[in-house]
Amino acid sequence: MGDLSVLKDPDIWLCTTCYQCYERCPRDVRPTDVIMELRNYATKLGNISKNHRAVVGYLKNFGHAVPINDEVRKRRVELGLDELPPTMFKYKEEEDNDLDKIKKNFFDLPPEEEEEEK
């Protein structure tokens, strides 16, 4: 409603995006969509939780929010799966992929703000 202080509120990062509120809202408010938009605006202003910033870093550096280490690769093979899942991990190793372009444009976060003393 015009109060931009919500963009600095750490509570907007507590939503797990489980969509239960979305599915149960009797007025079709779509709270999860609202929270996601608030997060987008907050991020543009440099307000992003450390955990979400870390996830963006994982996406940028590894192509996936959960990095795959040697242990996970080994387990996948033991289970009869390809060593890499059909995600950006797999495509990152291919030549002529567009991931560098995506990385440059998609993961451009504002610098991390200094935490204020409380």
Residue 62 confidence (pLDDT) above 60: yes
Question: Could you tell me if residue 97 is inside a domain?
Answer: yes
In angstroms, the CA 71 to CA 93 distance is: 19
- Count other C-beta atoms under 10 Å from residue 39's C-beta: 19
Query: Looking at the structure, do residues 6 and 38 belong to the same domain, yes or no?
Result: yes
Same-domain check for residues 9 and 41: yes
pLDDT of residue 108 exceeding 90, the answer is no
Residue type, 55: V
Could you list the residue range(s) of the whole structural domain that residue 27 is in? 1-48
Confidence of residue 85 (pLDDT cuts 50, 70, 90): confident
- The first and second tokens of residue 76, run together, are 């996948």
Q: Is residue 114 part of a domain?
A: no
> Which of the two residues, 118 and 29, has the higher pLDDT score?
29
Does residue 96 share a domain with residue 64? yes
- The answer to pTM > 0.75 is no
Q: Into how many domains does the chain fold?
A: 2
Q: Encoding tokens for residue 91? A: 């495509």
64/105 same-domain check: yes
Residue with tokens 């280490």: 69
Three-state SS at 31:
helix
15-61 confidence digits (pLDDT tens): 988 888 888 889 988 889 989 999 988 988 888 888 888 888 887 77
Q: Do 69 and 36 sit in the same domain of this protein?
A: no
